[in-house]
Structure 1
Amino acid sequence: VLATLHYDPLVHIFNDLSGSVSLAWVGVGTGVILALTTFQVPIFMITIGQSKLYRSEDYGKSFEDVTNLINNTFIRSDFGIAIGPENSGKVILTADVSGNQGSRIFVSEDFGKSFTHQQLPFVPYMQITYNPENSNVLMALSNKVNFGTNWKKLHDMVCLVKWGRKNTMFFTANHNGSCVDRGMLELKRTTDYGKSFKTIANKIFSFGLGGKFLFASVMTGKGTFRMIHVSVDQGDTWNMAQLPPVGHEQFYSILAANDEMVFMHVDEPGDTGFGTIYVSDDRGTVYSKSLERHLYTTTGGETDFINVTSLRGVFTTSILAEDKSVQSVISFDQGGEWVPLRKPADSKCDATAKDPERCSLHIHAAYSIATGLNVPMLPLTEPNAVGLILAHGSVGDAISVLRPDVYVSDDGGYTWIKALEGPHHYAILDSGGLLIAVEQNPHRGINQIKFSTDEGQCWGVYNFTDDPVIFTGLASEPGARSMNVSLWGYRTSLFHQYWISFTIDFKDLITRNCSDQDYVQWLAHSDDISDPTDGCILGYKEKFLRLKKDSVCLNGRDFEVNTQPTPCLCTLDDFLCDFGYYRKENSSECVEQPDLKGKVLEFCLHGTEEELQTNGYRKIPGDKCEGGKIPDRKEINLRQRCVSDLLGPELLVIIIVMLLSTAAGVMFVKKYVCGGRFLVHRYSVLQQHVEDSAAGDGMDDQLETNHTPNGKIEFHDDSDEDMLE
C-alpha cells in the first residue's frame, strides 16, 4: 500500500564548482557510494585541476567530504573509479601528476573508509585493471617506465593486453618496434604472470575474448584480406571460422558471445554503414547467416544491437533499408528469425511515415544518440525484472527524427505500450516492482519524479522539491534491487553554482512486503495459448512467478527469479539454417544459397578437412528440444590435412603489481566549463564491471583499440571490434 507522499527526500549540497561528478557503488548491498568531483583546465601541455572525494554509507542520503584521505590530490577523471571484483571493497584512484616521470595511485581495501597512496614508477596509459579472479593482482599499460617498489615489467613492445580465464593473460607484441604494423603482430599467452610466455599465433591484426572463445583476426595471403580464427583451448589449437574474409576498409565485430555461441557482424565492402550478422555453432567455427543489412556505422562505430537480458533468447537491433531509412527489428529465438516490433494497440504512424500501412515500433539506441536526437538513455533491461524493457521509440515505417516517447514492454518485446510522453531518464527498482522516470528538459528546472508500480501502465507524480533544479541524471544502485534513487542536478544564482542531490527511499512510500498471493504464474514467449508449442523457445518453455500488476508491495533485496522449465518437441524453429543455406523473409524453411548450389561443402576443423552433408538445418546452440522433427546432418572426416597456421604508434609495456583484493555501477555527470559558465550539461551511465576484461558471458570486450596521445582509447572504422553485451 502506498503511504503518504508527503515524504521529504534527503538533500545533500556539494559546495564546490567542479565541472563533473563521477559516482561509484562500492560492493553490492553495502550502501557505499563514492562521489568524485573534478574541475580541470588544460594549459599548454599540462592539465591543472582539483578533485574532491565524498563518501556515503546510506545509498546517497548523506555524504561526508573525505578529500583529506587522498591528500587533496587531483584525480584523473578519465580513468574513473576502479572498483574491485568479488565484493572485495577495493578501490583504486589514479592521480594526475603532470610533468613527472611516474604517477600515483590511492588504494582502499575497506570500501573507501581509508586510502593508502603508492608511487608508480611509470605513467599509466589506461585505467588499472584487476584480475577478475584474483583482485590482489593488477595490470596496467605504460609507455614510460622506471621500475621499482612492487611492480614488475612483464614484456616490452606490447600493443594490446587482456585478462583471460584462470589468471591467463593474452597480449599482442611487435618486436619490429611499431604497433602501427597491424597484421604482423604476435599473440602471446602467460599463465604465471610473466615467468614464461608462449607465442600462440602470428600475423595477428587483432584479437578478442568472448565466452569460452579466443578470436584472432589474421592477415592472409599477401596481406590484403583478414580471416577470423577461433580457439576454445586458450590458443593451443585454432580453427578457421567459416566467415567471409574482410579487406582493409572492413571489420569484424563480435556483438555477443557466451560458451555456446557467437553473434558476429561482418562489414560489407565499401562505406555502406551496414553488414551481415552471422550466428555460430557451439565450436565458434561454422556460421549461419542471421540478418542482412545490419546497421553498423563506419564513421563512429555505432550499432543498436542489444541483448534483452530480461528474457532468454531476445535481441533487438536496427537495419539500414534499401531506401537508407533505419528500422528496428527483434529476434525472440537467438537470431533464428528477425521481425519488426509490433506497434502498440491503437497507435498511429507519426508524421514522417511514408507508408501508413507499414507501421511498427522503432527503438532509439546508440545510433540515434550519436546523431544528436534527444534520447537521454539507451533501452533498459534487467535479468531480475523478467520481461521488462524500457526504451525510447517512435511508431512509423522507420526511426523518426521527431521527439521520441517512452515505451514499455512487460513480455520481452512481444507487445508494447506508450508509457510516457517525451524523452525521460528512467530506472528499474525492486526487481521490476517499481519504475521511476524524470522528464528530460534542458531548458527549465525539474521538481517532479514519476513512478509506476504496475510496469508502466499508470504513473504517479511526486514533487521532490519546491525549488526546481537543473536536472542532470538519475543514480540507482546497479542490479535493480534497491528502493533508493538519487536525482542529481545543480542550482545556479547570480554569483554561485553548486551540485545538489536528492535521495528518495521508496520504502517510505511502499510499506508492505509481498506475499505469495501477490504473484501470478506467467508463461514466457506465449502468443497463442491454443498452440501446443506456445511458449517453446530454444527447445523449452519457462514459467515464472511475477508480481501482479495490482499488487503494490516490496519484492525485497533477496527476491530471486523463480522459473519452471519444460522441454519441447523439436520443430524447424529449433534450427538455424546451416552453412550455405538461408531463410527467406517470413519463412521457416531454409533454402540453399544460389552461389553454393551443387557444390561440396568442406571446412577445416581440428587440422583435418571435413565434408558437411546437410538438409540445410543445424540445431541452435543451447537449444534443449527433445524428439520431434530432427533434420539429417553429419560431418564426414575426409582425412586430408589442413592447417590453420597461426605461428609462422608507441610501444607499451605491461606492468603488474601484487597488492593485498561485485561489479559496481559508475555514473558520470559532466558539465563542460568555459569561462566559468556552464554551457552544456551531459549525463551518461557507464556500467563498469570488472569482469569486462575477462572472457565471459555478456561482457564488454574491445577487440581492437587505438591509443591516442592523451591516453584515451578510440575506435576506428578499420578495426575489428567485439562489443559483448
Structure 2
Amino acid sequence: MIWRLVVLGGVCVCLVAAEGSSRAGRTVTFHRTRQDGSPRQVRARPRRDTSSPPGASKLSHGPAFSPCRLPLTAAEHKVLDDNTHETGFNGDDGSYVILTWVGDGTGVVLVLSTISVPINTFLDGGSSRLYRSTDYGKSFHDISHRINNTFIKEEFGVSVGPGSSVILTADTPVVDNPGGIIFTSADAGATFKLIQLPFHLDQPITYHFLNPDYLVALSIDGGLWLSLDFGAKWTKVHDGVHSFSWGAGVNLFFSCSRVDTVEADERGDLVLKGTRDLGKSFATIHEDIYSFGYIGAFLFFSVMEDSRSPRVMYFSSDQGDTFSRALLPSASTEQFYSILDGDVDMLFMHVDNPGDTYFGTMYTSDDRGILFSRSLERHLFDGHRKSDFTNITSLRGVYLTNKLDEDGRIRSVISFNRGGMWRQLNKPENVDCGEQIKKCNLHIHGEHSRNNMIVPMLALSEPSAIGLVIAHGTVGDSLSSSQHPDVFVSSDGGYSWRGTLRGPHHYSILDSGGLVVAVEAQRGGQVRTIKFSTDEGQCWKSYNFTEQPFFFAGLASEPGTKAMNVSVWGFRPEEDGQPMWVTVTIDFQSLITRECNKRDYEEWLAHSTEGGDAGRKGCVLGVKETYRRLKKQSVCRNGKGFAVSKKQSPCLCTRDDYLCDYSYYRHTNTSECVRQPNAANKTLEVCLDGEEDELLTAGYRKVPSDKCEGGFTPQLAVQTVVRPCGVKPSPSPPPEPAPPGTVFDTPRERLVLILVCAGAGAIVLVAIASAFLAVKRVVYSNRTPVYRFSNLQIQDDDNSVTADLESANSSNGTVCQHDSDDDLIG
C-alpha cells in the first residue's frame, strides 16, 4: 500500500491526522498497487538508504520502558461492539480509494473507489464508484449515478473547499475533447452539476480561502483561468503561467514567461505579476525570478539577476507594493532556499549549504522579512530535500527539528521561543537510560525517517489539545534507525516526555485531546485491534474491532479533532484475487457519555514546567498564558462545543525581549547590546525622495510578536536630520579593527551582516548598514543598493474579467505553496 499526498482547499494534508482548515475537509487516499490482487503491506521498518546522511544508521539501541495497559471490561466491550460499524466495498471497485470529509461537523464522508485506468468511455463505463455517508462513516450509499458513473482522475480527482463545496475532476482524453469535465457540489455531495471546461487541467483547482465561488486553475498549455461562480463560467486571465498563489484578500500572484508560452523561457527568466481585481488588470512585481510563494503575510521570490549569478531572496510584506532583498546568503545552482514556516510576524527560512552536505542554516526573520537572524546551524535537510522541521501547534512558540552534528549523528532539538534558542529534548520520565548511555535524550523521528520508511507518521499536535504532542522517537545519544521507534507523549508542549507505546503506531487525537487512539503498524500481519487512552497516553485499553483482520491502509477521523468517531481503513484479499475494501467506524461517544463539567478542568500556566526566576516563570515572548484544560484523570467528553479558553497577562520587559539593532551586538559577558567597534557613529542614512534622512538608534529592537510591557525600556532617541542627497556629513574617524573572529565580506554597497553566537545560547545580530530598512521606495544614486524597491507598473489586458466583483475579506492565513522544496524558491 502506498500513501498519497492530496491537496484540498489550498491546505496540504497527508494520510493521517494532517492539519487542515476548519472550513475544509480532509482527504485520504489508499492504493492497492499490485494488479494480481495480492496485498502489498504497509511496512514500518528501518532501511539503510544510500542517500542518508553519514552516520544516520549506526547508532545504538535505546532503553526500554513499560507502557501502562488497562483491561477492557465486559460492559465496555459490549458498548463498543454495539457502536462499531463495518462497511465493505465490492471487490471490483478498483485499485485505490479516496476518502474525503466534507464540511465542518456535517458528518458527511465521500468515498471514491476507482481502477487505475478507464476501461470504457468516461460517461458510460462505470469505472469509478462514489459513495456517501451522512453519519460519520457508519453507513454508506452508492451515489455513482449522480456523476453518471464517470471515471474520476486519480491524481487530483477530489477537491474539498470552504463550506460544503466539492469538485470532482473527470479523466477525459486530451486529443478527443476540447476541455475537461468537472462535477461541482455546493451541498456536500447531495447533488452534483456537470460542467464542461474550456481547457484541460494541469493541476488541482484552487479555492479561495474564504469564498468557495472563487476558483483558479492552470491549464496544460500554461493558461491561468478564473471562475467567480463556482466553476459555472471560466475566463482566461493570462497565458504562459508557471505557478500561482492567492495572497491576502483577492490578491492573486503568478509567475509567467516573458512571451506567452510556458516553454519560451527557463526558470530564472520568469516575470512575477499580481492582480488585485481578479484579472481586470495586472502589475509587474519583478523580473528574472526563479520561483515564488506566499505564506503568512509575506510574498517571497528568488531572483537570478543574470544567468551566471547565484539566486537571492526578496520579500514583500505589503502584497508586492514594495519589496526588499533579504539579508541572507545567496544560493548557487547546487543549493536551495526553503520556507519552513511563517505567519504574519516572522518566517523560518532554510538556506542549503554548498555540496551534498544534507544540512544548512536556519534563519528567522523580522516582521518585514528583511533582516534574518541565524537561528540554527547544521539544520538537517536530507538528499530528498525533506526537512524534519515541525511546528508544535498545541503550544505557542514551540518548534521541533533535527540537526546533523559534525560527528555524523542526527540529534533532535526544540525551541520554546520561536527559534531564539534551541536545546536537546529531555529524557522521558519513565525511561532509565542506565550507566552505559552517557548522553541520554529523546530524539524524534521526522520526515527524513518517514521517507526512509522507519516511521509511519510524524509528530502530531492540535491547537485544541493544549500542550499535547505525540511522536515517534528513540532515547539515547542520538536518533537511531537501527531499532524500532517507540511512541512518546508530552503534555506540556515538549518540556517533558514519557514513553507510551512500544513500536511504531498510527495515532489520532479526538475530542480536543480528551481521547487518543492508536493502531499498531504491523510488519507483516493484518490488524484487528485499536488502542485508546483518555488520559493523554498514560494508560491504554485495547479493543478488537473486527472478527476478520485486514491489511491496514489508514486511520482517519473528521478534521478539527472534535469528533469521537474514528475509521480504520484497509482491504481483504478475496478468493477471486480482487480486494474487498473495508472501513470500520468506531463511535467512542457511546462509551464516554458524561459531559465534562467545571470540576473536570484545571488552570495550567504554559511554559512553566521548568524552574527559573519566579517573576518570569511562564513568560514567553513577553506574555504569560494560563489555559483551562481537561484534567488527565477526568473521563468525560469535551464535546463539539468545546473551545480553548486562556487568559493572557503581559510580562515585564527584559533585555531578553529585545534583539540588538543594526551595528550592535550582545557582549559575551553582559546582556547589554553594545556598539560594534568598527561602526564610526550611530547614523543610518537613507535617501528618500531626493533627500537624505539621518536616523539614530540606541541599539535595541523588540523581538517580532513579543508583547512585554514596562520593565526594561531602551531609550530609543531616534532623531532625523534632513538634507539634500549627495551632501555628505563631516568626515568620520577611520573604523577600528574588528574583534577577533569576526569575518567581513564587504560588497561595494557597503552593507554587512555579522551573526555572532553569544553566551547562554542568545542570538546576536550585528549589521553595518548604509540604508535604514524600514523606509520604502528609496531612491539611490551612483551605486547598486542591497535593498531594491519598485513601484508596481500597472497594465490593462484585453482579457480581463468583466463580472461585477465584490471585495472578499482580507486573509493573512498560511497558504500551501504549489512548489515543492525542489523548486519552491530554488
Task: Choose 1 or 2 for highest CA Rg.
Answer: 2
Q: 1:2-60 CA deviation, whole Å, 9 max, x = no partner?
A: 962222211101113422111111100000010111211499xx9x9932111000000
The Cα of 1:100 is off from its aligned counterpart by 3.0
Distance 1:426 1:498, change over 3 A: same
Q: Which moved more, 1:102-111 or 1:221-230?
A: 221-230
Aligned residues of 1:289 and 1:582 also touching (Cα < 8 A) = no
Provide the residue aligned with 2:89 in structure 1: 14
Q: Alignment identity in percent? A: 48
Aligned residues of 1:320 and 1:327 also touching (Cα < 8 A) = yes
Give, as a single letter, the amino acid of the residue that structure 2 aligns with 1:19. S
Distance 1:609 1:697, change over 3 A: farther
- State the distance in 2 between where 1:659 and 1:303 align: 44
Equivalence map 1:161-180=2 (5 Å): 161-176=244-259, 177=261, 178=263, 180=265
Q: Secondary structure at the match of 1:368?
A: helix
Provide the residue aligned with 1:519 in structure 2: 601
Give, as a single letter, the amino acid of the residue that structure 1 aligns with 2:460. L
Aligned residues of 2:126 and 2:150 also touching (Cα < 8 A) = no
Task: Flag the structure with higher strand content.
Answer: 1
Provide the residue aligned with 1:697 in structure 2: 813
Aligned residues of 2:658 and 2:702 also touching (Cα < 8 A) = yes
Q: Which moved more, 1:89-98 or 1:524-533?
A: 524-533
Provide the residue aligned with 1:644 in structure 2: 788
Q: Which moved more, 1:222-231 or 1:306-315?
A: 222-231
- Quick one: which of 207, 213, 237 aligns to 1:136? 213
Aligned residues of 1:163 and 1:695 also touching (Cα < 8 A) = no
Does residue 276 (structure 1) correspond to residue 384 (structure 2)? The answer is: no
The Cα of 1:294 is off from its aligned counterpart by 1.0
- State the distance in 2 between where 1:500 and 1:408 align: 30
Provide the residue aligned with 1:668 in structure 2: none
> Any stretches of 5+ residues in structure 1 without a counterpart?
649-653, 662-690, 706-713
Give, as a single letter, the amino acid of the residue that structure 2 aligns with 1:31. G
Equivalence map 1:78-89=2 (5 Å): 78-85=155-162, 87=163, 89=164
Distance 1:237 1:637, change over 3 A: farther
The Cα of 1:409 is off from its aligned counterpart by 0.3
Q: Which moved more, 1:127-136 or 1:575-584?
A: 575-584
Give, as a single letter, the amino acid of the residue that structure 2 aligns with 1:398. S
Provide the residue aligned with 1:459 in structure 2: 540
Q: CA RMSD in A?
A: 3.5
Q: 1:395-417 CA deviation, whole Å, 9 max, x = no partner?
A: 11211102100000000000001
Does residue 507 (structure 1) correspond to residue 589 (structure 2)? The answer is: yes
- State the distance in 2 between where 1:588 and 1:449 align: 55
Q: 1:523-562 CA deviation, whole Å, 9 max, x = no partner?
A: 1000227722110111011111111111100000110111
Provide the residue aligned with 1:302 in structure 2: 386
The count of aligned residue pairs is: 663
Give, as a single letter, the amino acid of the residue that structure 1 aligns with 2:606. A
Provide the residue aligned with 1:30 in structure 2: 106
The Cα of 1:519 is off from its aligned counterpart by 0.7
Give, as a single letter, the amino acid of the residue that structure 1 aligns with 2:129. K
TM-score by length of 1: 0.84
Does residue 419 (structure 1) correspond to residue 496 (structure 2)? The answer is: no
- State the distance in 2 between where 1:259 and 1:605 align: 28
Does residue 66 (structure 1) correspond to residue 143 (structure 2)? The answer is: yes
The Cα of 1:660 is off from its aligned counterpart by 13
Aligned residues of 1:25 and 1:477 also touching (Cα < 8 A) = yes
Q: Secondary structure at the match of 1:77?
A: coil
Does residue 536 (structure 1) correspond to residue 611 (structure 2)? The answer is: no
The Cα of 1:248 is off from its aligned counterpart by 1.9
Q: 1:584-635 CA deviation, whole Å, 9 max, x = no partner?
A: 99x9958899998889896979889888977775322111111222456677
Aligned residues of 1:523 and 1:544 also touching (Cα < 8 A) = yes
Does residue 4 (structure 1) correspond to residue 85 (structure 2)? The answer is: no
Provide the residue aligned with 1:575 in structure 2: 658
The Cα of 1:183 is off from its aligned counterpart by 2.3
Provide the residue aligned with 1:95 in structure 2: 170
- State the distance in 2 between where 1:349 and 1:522 align: 30
- State the distance in 2 between where 1:51 and 1:500 align: 17
Distance 1:589 1:695, change over 3 A: farther
Distance 1:422 1:347, change over 3 A: same
Provide the residue aligned with 1:229 in structure 2: 314
The Cα of 1:638 is off from its aligned counterpart by 8.3
Q: Secondary structure at the match of 1:357?
A: coil
Equivalence map 1:118-517=2 (5 Å): 118-144=195-221, 150-176=233-259, 177=261, 178=263, 180-220=265-305, 223-297=308-382, 299-349=383-433, 356-373=437-454, 375-401=455-481, 402-496=483-577, 497-517=579-599
- State the distance in 2 between where 1:224 and 1:386 align: 47
Q: Secondary structure at the match of 1:253?
A: strand
- State the distance in 2 between where 1:660 and 1:543 align: 44
The Cα of 1:423 is off from its aligned counterpart by 0.3
The Cα of 1:360 is off from its aligned counterpart by 0.9
Provide the residue aligned with 1:675 in structure 2: none
Aligned residues of 2:91 and 2:574 also touching (Cα < 8 A) = no
Give, as a single letter, the amino acid of the residue that structure 1 aligns with 2:817. D
Aligned residues of 1:136 and 1:658 also touching (Cα < 8 A) = no
The Cα of 1:442 is off from its aligned counterpart by 3.9
- State the distance in 2 between where 1:139 and 1:483 align: 35
Give, as a single letter, the amino acid of the residue that structure 1 aligns with 2:346. M
Q: Secondary structure at the match of 2:303?
A: strand
The Cα of 1:232 is off from its aligned counterpart by 2.1
